A and B are shown apart, each in its own frame.
Chain A
Amino acid sequence: MILDWLLPTLIAVLLVLAGIGAVRRANLWRAGQAEKVDVIAGLMAMPKRYLHDLHHVVERDKYMSRTHVATGGGFVLAMALVVLVHLFGIESKILAWMLLGALTMMFCGALFVFKRRINPPSRLSKGPWMRLPKNLLVFSITFFVLTLPAAGVLPESFTLGAMGNWILTIVLSVLVLLSLSEMLFGMTWGGPMKHAFAGALHLAFHRRPERFGGGRSTGLKAVELASDSNSMTFGKIHGVAKPSDFKWNQLLGFDACVQCGRCEAVCPAFAAGQPLNPKKLIQDMVVGFAGGTDEKYAGSPYPNKEVGKAKGGVDQIITEGLISSETLWSCTTCRACVEECPMMIEHVDAIVDMRRFLTLEKGETPNKGAQVLENIIATDNPNGHSPASRTHWAADQNLKVMKDVKQVDVLFWVSDGAFDMRSQRILRSFVKLLKAANVDVAILGDEELDSGDVARRLGDDATFQSLAKRNLAVLSQYQFNKIVTTDPHAFHCLKNEYGGFGSDALKGVDVLHHTTFLNQLIKEGRLELDAFASNGGKVTYHDPCYLGRYNGEYEAPRELLASLGIKIAEMERSGYRSRCCGGGGGAPITDIPGERRIADMRMEDVTSTGADMVAVGCQQCTAMLEGVVEPRPVIRDIAEILAGQIREPKEGERV
């Protein structure tokens, strides 16, 4: 039979083509900047990262995870066996039967992929992705038939007569060519199966390997500033202007995208009709380093932007033709897309990298951005208040100041809420609780500076680094065991972004959010609270992005509310899927217009639970949610709720 030599030839040719494609693709990634990765360790860890970490994310959609295990697992196994059985012609009934088993598994999975594609949700990309399930089915069926003789089910001498043989041979050859082209050739030449090839390598060479094995890595990476004339980077530009300014493994990461659109489904800016769609952004990055236009993109566009106009090249400025800067400034850095991405792509890193170019090199931070940055530089707070008025809020609080006491158990990091009258209510409530629990606490007073969160998210890493270094210098003068803050943004900076500046001011120090700390106090019995009388009203809790997704603290706020006897009416999107309030990443400052406001959408989430109070743990969320027009549920920081329930000691109990 002709197939006897045609089949191995086809397999061999396509494997070689796939190999050539792989080298070409890898060369595209190599256009990026150097970044050290542990190649061997990464490759060794890859299967575990796939089976454990990636699958953990996919598992959130049970239908898809099972489908993928069957299809993907079946294919990998089948392909390996196809090479053994059909390319090398190893005659073994056991292998052939194993191959039949793998193909059956793949077939079952492919059926479900097919089923999902009959009426696909809008978040899925169409185009070439629509033909993939058909090719998966063709692959499994064709090779099933081809393997039957080897398994001994059909006799080797099975014939249909000369004519029938010819037809069968031609049909099978066409089907083999079709399915192998998709599965092997397409994998490295930019077809839908590219995700398997690039994805596997992306897992191996991920820029944040700490994320695997249940770890967390959310702090942005620092820009190497070119201010030092001795530095290697002197005279170079800051941030990412062209695709080739990304690290090579970031480019690889973009290529891993399967266009499942889970990011799009959770993105608050996309839902608000702002011109951002994380999936499209990643695809545009691929267009950027591979060159060409976005004509072939078959998913949802950036809201109100036409697809097909974007053009890019590896050495072309990204914001000049590929994506508009508005897209970059729409992001609230809420990290919902990163949390949801089954391929563990780092959208937020990429967006901030590109923002850095716009701010540090072009001076094009939109709207109030320039003014806010100028204020931060000149006064160390975003609104240009006098640095000498930072402690005015605490005039009646009788708080110790670090400059006087030098040593304390708990340092209270006040953050810029000190200047805002609404946030001051949260600060005072927290101080009241600290006093009720007899905590040895002090503040930095006027020595505290802005944490640098806003400057960094707006792309001004120079100012962030200056603030971080000066804050660390102040902190290093004093002794304290814990540092506690009511602001999750400052918390994130102190905990995750103040490392790597050569200071050990925070070494051995517990950095805590106030909800975590208050929860500890209650568990230790140092704080006694009365039950909360909600008068029949429901209470819900809004997870701040920088507390939840950035730092994994979902439990302490809930335990605190439970300790007051409050049963939380959870929102549909809570915990790691919490929807952003719209206040992060400098989004209220750059203020890119959309069709809705993110805060309004979040308030709809709140009201749909029937709650008449929403508990929060962030002054920024408080401000955003209180900005929603009434009537709406009331917004209270957890510290405020707790402070109202402090149990007054009875006369006899006083010591």
Chain B
Amino acid sequence: MLPNGEHSVKVVSLVSIGRHPQSGRSRRAEQDGRAVELGLKLAGDNLTVVHAGDSQEPVLRQYAGMGLNALTVLSQEADGDALPLMYDFLSQSDANVLLMGIRAESGESSGMLPYLLAEKLGWPLLSRVADIVHINQREAEVLLALPRGQRRSVTVSLPFVATIDNAAIEARQTAFGPGLRAKINLIENQKITDDTATAWQISPAKPRPKRMKVVKAKNAADRFKAATAKPAGGGGKIMKNETPAEKAQAIFDLLLEEKVIR
């Protein structure tokens, strides 16, 4: 099932410093942890795990405690831009599978990094991956996570970028001892400040008022149906056999209709 030539596929998982939703404390990020877990499944000991930031950050030891021998840190200040560092590192490496979370739990948390990185590298991007079922030197069979437990199977040619959904297998327990012993390979970089970001003013977000939840279901069967049924909105349509021009037109029409473009 897994790569026949073990070292043929070179997998890199990118990790960030997470933030616990209750305590606000640094932690192993939920999705990044899953990216490492999936990476370990695909590449085992040959997995490369990369972080851009402070090499002294204790949370890195939590990632390392998943059984990594080493961890690569691209040194960067808190106000730095991770994108150019990651691009430089990846373009010089022979990586052909790049895994990461959908968005960071701290910092800008815009979820743009995978897209910008994929664009710069010129690799296809698969978002919200639940599992990589099969991989060889040329292509991979990937399960994408759709709402309500549905999956879509796609085949993608290497190299590619994948963001890992919460539906992917949970990150294994981190062990203190191996985390402590893992080597941290520090790669010093020129300081690249994210000038746009430093000019921003940051203030805590106000919680949005929540829409009151009116439970219409009278019995358990209705509640179950409401929780599991496919969304009733019939707005979408699946286009498989149309020409690319027709597909593009449909998207364009939708964007106009939704007033995304005017």
Contacts and interface: CB of A to CB of B under 8 A. Distances in A.
Contacts of A460: 176
A380 B176 CA distance: 17
Contact of A386 (B22, B174, B176): B22
Interface in A361-391: 361-365, 369-370, 373-374, 377-380, 384-387
Given A227-B180, A378-B27, A362 B22 contact: no
A394 interface: no
Nearest to A373: B173
B175 A360 contact: yes
A379 B23 CA distance: 6
Interface residues on A, range: 20 to 34
Given A384-B22, A385-B22, A386-B23, A361 B177 contact: yes
Contact of B176 (A238, A378, A379, A385): A238
Interface string B166-183: 000000111111101100
Given A227-B180, A235-B181, A364 B173 contact: yes
A399 interface: no
Interface in A268-296: none
Interface in B193-207: none
Contact of A378 (B25, B180, B181): B25
Interface in B26-40: 27
A511 interface: no
B20 A379 contact: yes
A620 interface: no
A237 to B, nearest CB: 6
Interface in A237-277: 237-238
Contacts of A187: none
A360 B176 contact: yes
B143 interface: no
Interface in A386-425: 386-387
Nearest to A357: B177
Nearest to A226: B180
Interface string A182-205: 000000000000000000000000
B174 to A, nearest CB: 6
Contact of A379 (B22, B175, B180, B181): B22
A21 to B, nearest CB: 38
A104 interface: no
B20 A226 contact: no
A327 interface: no
A380 B180 CA distance: 21
B65 A363 contact: yes
Contacts of A462: 176
B18 to A, nearest CB: 9
Nearest to A370: B173
A379 B173 contact: no
Given A227-B180, A378-B27, A363 B22 contact: no
B25 A379 contact: yes
A395 B65 CA distance: 40
Nearest to A383: B22
Contacts of B20: 378-379, 384
Nearest to B61: A227
Contact of A363 (B25, B27, B66, B180): B66
A238 B22 contact: no
A195 to B, nearest CB: 36
A76 B96 CA distance: 76
B159 interface: no
Contact of B177 (A238, A377, A386): A238
B172 A363 contact: yes
Contact of A237 (B23, B174, B177): B177
Interface in B7-66: 20, 22-23, 25, 27, 65-66
Given A226-B180, A227-B180, A235-B181, A362 B175 contact: yes
Among B27, B66, B173, B177, the one with the most A-chain Cβ atoms within 10 Å of its Cβ is B177
A385 B21 CA distance: 10
Nearest to A361: B177
A140 interface: no
A625 B181 CA distance: 43
B114 interface: no
A363 B23 contact: no
A179 interface: no
A359 interface: yes
Given A378-B20, A379-B23, A363 B181 contact: no
B178 A361 contact: yes
B67 interface: yes
Contacts of B67: 363
Given A227-B180, A363-B67, A380 B23 contact: yes
Among A364, A378, A380, A386, the one with the most B-chain Cβ atoms within 10 Å of its Cβ is A378
Interface string B210-232: 00000000000000000000000
Nearest to B19: A378
Contacts of B66: 363
A237 B179 CA distance: 11
Nearest to A235: B181
B23 to A, nearest CB: 4
Interface in B111-159: none
Contacts of A225: 176
Contacts of B27: 374, 377-378
Contacts of B173: 363-365, 369-370, 373-374
A504 to B, nearest CB: 27
B23 A226 contact: no
A262 to B, nearest CB: 36
A450 to B, nearest CB: 12
A361 B175 contact: yes
A591 B176 CA distance: 22
A616 B47 CA distance: 52
Interface in B64-88: 65-67
Interface of B: 20, 22-23, 25, 27, 65-67, 172-178, 180-181
**A-B residue pairs, 6 tightest by C-beta:** A363-B175, A370-B173, A363-B173, A386-B22, A378-B20, A361-B177
Given A235-B181, A361-B177, A378-B22, 20 more contacts: A226-B181, A238-B177, A359-B175, A359-B176, A360-B175, A360-B177, A361-B176, A363-B173, A363-B174, A363-B178, A364-B173, A365-B173, A373-B173, A374-B174, A379-B22, A380-B23, A384-B20, A384-B22, A386-B22, A387-B22
24 contacts: A225-B176, A226-B177, A226-B181, A238-B176, A359-B175, A359-B176, A360-B175, A360-B176, A360-B177, A361-B176, A361-B177, A362-B175, A363-B65, A363-B174, A363-B175, A363-B178, A365-B173, A369-B173, A370-B172, A370-B173, A378-B22, A379-B22, A385-B22, A460-B176
